Amino acid sequence: MTDKPLVSIALCTYNGAQYLAQQLETLVGQTYPNIEIIAVDDVSKDDTVNILEQFAARHTNFSIHRNTENLGYIKNFEKAISLCKGQYIALADQDDIWELNKIELLLQNIGNAALIYHDSEFIDEQGLSIGRKVSDVRNFYAGTNANIFLLENCVSGHALMFNRELLKYFTGFNREVIHDWWLTYMACNNGGVTFINDVLVKYRQHTQANTNILRQDRGEAKKKDSLLRIEKLHAIAAAFAGYPYNTDQAFKQRYFKLMDMRMHSYFSFRLFWFIFNRRDSLLYIQKKSALSKFNFSLKYAWGYLLKKLFN
């Protein structure tokens, strides 16, 4: 028996056989002694489940759950979290490589924050370093200002761990917002987030990944047109404004109202000015100059109806 709190690792898999075994070795090899690993497979058609079963046969703290229908990665993480029993819950992707002291270091530093995250190193499909870290392309934030996360996110799912007390304020993932972004936003509203500068994961970048933080070219088929981007931003704003445990709700409602007006306008200068005038919070995550942030904000001056004329 141990008096150390249980930490759950929620691992979601889907056709991940190519890289899975290497990742699993780093999960079962964690230096922290009180861990459970909850693997939820989303109807894989390759050898993923066989690999999971091999590890589960060797490790009593490893359990496997198989979906009967494909949920998609966001709802699959929601299911995995619901199965976790630990006081702290960390998320794991199937294709990364963890440092063996990752959980131990996160527990040492989380303090009273609702969520903690760390830096990661980008690697390519072969596992070779790209020579960049997440902190090279994003500013990290610690605190309780959820407005920081209305437009962008700097917290990768594989890098975060949260206190299960946060689940009191969890109303389920919104399909419009990626799960790590939603958890971070929720944590900022309910206890705050913190981070450590340690690089604790090798973060694999490839064309099948769900996120594309380095904005690598994946071909025309993967690119969204400007109308879809505006629709997506509007849906995300609505999701955040509708979160029932918001702090500074007036700010969120004002932001959503302006985003909503953009959907019915040719020009949205008020939205542009709202964003640029509040760039210290809304654009905090961006590693950009003031001029670049001005140009970025200016993109929001173009309304949906005007964009529609050119599509």
Structural domains of the chain, with CATH: 7-204 (3.90.550.10), 221-309 (no CATH)
- In sequence order, which residues have a C-beta less than 8 Å from that of residue 257 and are 6 or more positions away? none
Whether the full predicted model's pTM is greater than 0.75, yes or no, is yes
Rg (CA), the chain: 20
In degrees and rounded to multiples of 5, residue 132 shows phi and psi of: -140, 155
Alpha helices in 4-111 (DSSP H): 17-28, 48-58, 73-83, 102-109
280 burial via Cβ count (<10 Å: 0-12, 13-18, 19+): exposed
pLDDT tens across the length of the chain (311 residues): 578 999 999 999 999 999 999 999 999 999 999 999 999 999 999 999 999 999 999 999 999 999 999 999 999 999 999 999 999 999 999 999 999 999 999 999 999 999 999 999 999 999 999 999 999 999 999 999 999 999 999 999 999 999 999 999 999 999 899 999 999 999 999 999 999 999 999 999 976 554 545 544 544 434 358 899 999 999 999 999 999 999 999 999 999 999 999 999 999 999 999 999 999 999 999 999 999 999 999 999 999 999 888 77
